[in-house]
């Protein structure tokens, strides 16, 4: 009988990093000294449509159950952890009653029913430029402030029953510690935290009828949220340190150990382009969200709602494997299946243009990739500081980074070299780095760099496909009125 493989003995204390995303909760137990993942677990979430089926909602209680299940899969290692941090999906509106129970399912980031409330709020405060200068971002319907305004108008009884408002990562952190806290990174995506003052904006809160007493305390970089309470059934040691946690994009930036000017393209359920910056972003066009990062800098970011799931849906409709693309043809496909955030077209649906008799299914599928990547790359120059190197490699992360079709589309349309980090589950790794930084008294980004999380294969730049970019841009511009119209 062959001998069982030896399990490496951790060199340092163990920490837990959590990624609570739209679809699941993942937990990694990581050696704080080396970054080695010694155990992992994952449990799924369900997403409902809300009343009428046109929303995106989840019960926060299932996130907690999924966390316990994911930690349970980590076995004894989780019970030895000295610190934990939670990275969570941004923007979600979690409403709790006086007993800490959810009043209703959480409104998720990709629930865009609050588009009318967003339009009104932007106008009432003085327009996009005022929002950008004050909040750092022009709010999209994804932002929490628009969701609260929607709830107040459409479900006033639920709003009146709300005794606490949290973001998804706040909710899980509070379940661990018993304390209502958040961090500047995740708070910067609410629309009621002002980047200009790094505090809650009283006028905006008053305008949407939300008392600041219902909001969590914003912790600074390096502060602890508390310690793990004695929670029967949760496989974590009572007394373990709990870091501030943060939003998923901020956690992924930590997980890569990003330095200023390094561009990241994340290909997941949503697509994002971001980079760490020392300058506070204030984009009045609304293309770039002026988020704070999880430390003391900024994370200008552009996000699309339609990325890998949308392209996979097109592949399924065509009966093609997701990698079965073909070059050529004149088809343009804008895969805005869930409405879109970048460009700002919340009512849009998918648009296919330019079909000919000789158009092949593979060309249509390639057009879907082109449309998804084009929407992200149009924002890249706005995300990067003017002094960022124009030939800096794009770090390609997320589920799509594993696909050759995604990678080659990014190379062709960006004209930049591409690097794909070997490290996976970067949100959970970033949360683990934050927990390790708190435990060891180190900068969490430096911890991640010591773990070499960004190392991976790279591909040289190819000549940018200017003709395709011009064709895509022309169709998007010409179809603007149609894309702003709600689908019957």
CB atoms < 10 A from the CB of 349, how many?
18
- What φ, ψ does residue 184 adopt, rounded to 5°? -65, -30
**Distance from C-alpha of 314 to C-alpha of 334, rounded to nearest angstrom:** 11
CB atoms < 10 A from the CB of 457, how many?
10
**Distance from C-alpha of 167 to C-alpha of 151, rounded to nearest angstrom:** 15
Q: Taking the CA of residue 463 as centre, how many other CA atoms within 13 Å lie in the half-sphere pointing to its CB?
A: 4
Q: Which two tokens stand for residue 376?
A: 């992200």
Query: Which of 170, 201, 248, 465 is labelled catalytic?
Result: 248
CA 372 to each of CA 202, 380, 479: distance values in angstroms, whole numbers, following the listed order: 38, 13, 16
Which residue, 219, 214, 164, 209, is CA-closest to 186? 219
Per DSSP, which regions of 329-401 are E strands?
332-334, 351-353, 394-397
194 CB-near residues (< 8 Å, 6+ apart): 134, 135, 136, 200, 201, 204
375 CB-near residues (< 8 Å, 6+ apart): 271, 304, 306, 334, 340, 342, 343
Burial 230-249 (b: 16+ CB within 10 A, else e): eeeebbbeeebbbbbbbbbb
Q: What is the 3 state secondary structure string of 211-234?
A: CHHHCCEEECCCCEEEECCCCCCC
- Which residues sit opposite 84 in a β-bridge? 16, 242
Residue-by-residue DSSP string for 191-202 = SSEETTTTEE-H
Contact 38, 14 (CB under 8 A): yes
**Distance from C-alpha of 250 to C-alpha of 19, rounded to nearest angstrom:** 12
248 is catalytic: yes
Which residue's entry shows tokens 């097109």?
Answer: 314
β-pair type (418-419, 458-459): antiparallel
Q: Which two tokens stand for residue 433?
A: 């780095």
Contact 436, 32 (CB under 8 A): yes
Contact 119, 138 (CB under 8 A): no
Active site residues: 248
């Amino acid at each position: 009988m062959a001998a069982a493989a030896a399990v490496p003995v951790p060199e340092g204390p163990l920490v837990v990093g959590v990624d609570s995303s739209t679809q699941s909760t993942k937990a990694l137990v990581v050696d704080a000294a080396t970054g080695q993942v010694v155990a992992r677990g994952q449990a799924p979430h369900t997403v409902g449509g809300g009343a009428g089926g046109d929303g995106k909602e989840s019960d926060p209680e299932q996130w907690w159950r999924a966390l316990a299940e994911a930690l349970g899969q980590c076995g004894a290692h989780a019970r030895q952890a000295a610190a934990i941090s939670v990275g969570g999906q941004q923007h979600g509106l979690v409403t709790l009653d006086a007993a800490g129970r959810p009043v209703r399912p959480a409104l998720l980031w990709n629930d865009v029913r609050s588009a009318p409330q967003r339009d009104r709020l932007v106008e009432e405060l003085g327009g996009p430029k005022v929002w950008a200068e004050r909040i750092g971002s022009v709010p999209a319907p994804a932002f929490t402030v628009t969701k609260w305004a929607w709830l107040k108008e459409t479900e006033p009884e639920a709003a009146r029953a709300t005794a606490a408002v949290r973001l998804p990562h706040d909710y899980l952190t509070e379940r661990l510690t018993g304390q209502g806290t958040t961090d500047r990174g995740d708070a910067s995506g609410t629309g009621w935290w002002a980047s200009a003052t790094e505090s809650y904006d009283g006028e905006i809160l008053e305008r949407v009828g939300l008392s600041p007493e219902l909001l969590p305390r914003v912790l600074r970089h390096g502060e602890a949220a508390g310690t793990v309470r004695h929670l029967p059934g949760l496989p974590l040691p009572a007394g373990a340190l709990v870091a501030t946690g943060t939003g998923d994009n901020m956690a992924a930036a930590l997980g890569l150990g990003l330095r200023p000017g390094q561009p990241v393209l994340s290909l997941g359920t949503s697509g994002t382009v971001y980079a760490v910056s020392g300058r506070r972003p204030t984009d009045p066009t609304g293309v770039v969200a002026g988020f704070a990062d999880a430390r003391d800098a900024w994370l200008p970011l552009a996000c699309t709602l339609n990325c890998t799931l949308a392209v996979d849906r097109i592949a399924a409709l065509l009966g093609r494997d997701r990698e079965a693309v073909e070059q050529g043809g004149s088809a343009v496909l804008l895969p805005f299946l869930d409405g879109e955030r970048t460009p700002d077209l919340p009512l849009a649906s998918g648009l296919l243009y330019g079909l000919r008799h000789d158009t092949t299914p593979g060309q249509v599928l390639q057009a879907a990739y082109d449309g998804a990547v084009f929407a992200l790359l149009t924002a890249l120059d706005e995300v990067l500081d003017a002094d960022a190197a124009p030939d800096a490699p794009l770090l390609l992360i997320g589920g799509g980074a594993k696909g050759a079709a995604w990678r080659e589309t990014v190379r062709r349309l960006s004209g930049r070299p591409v690097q794909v980090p070997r490290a996976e589950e970067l949100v959970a790794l970033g949360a683990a780095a934050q927990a390790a930084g708190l435990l060891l008294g180190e900068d969490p980004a430096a911890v991640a760099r010591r773990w070499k999380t960004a190392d991976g294969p790279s591909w040289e730049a190819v000549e940018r496909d200017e003709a395709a970019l011009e064709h895509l841009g022309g169709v998007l511009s010409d179809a603007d009125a149609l894309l702003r119209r709600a689908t019957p």
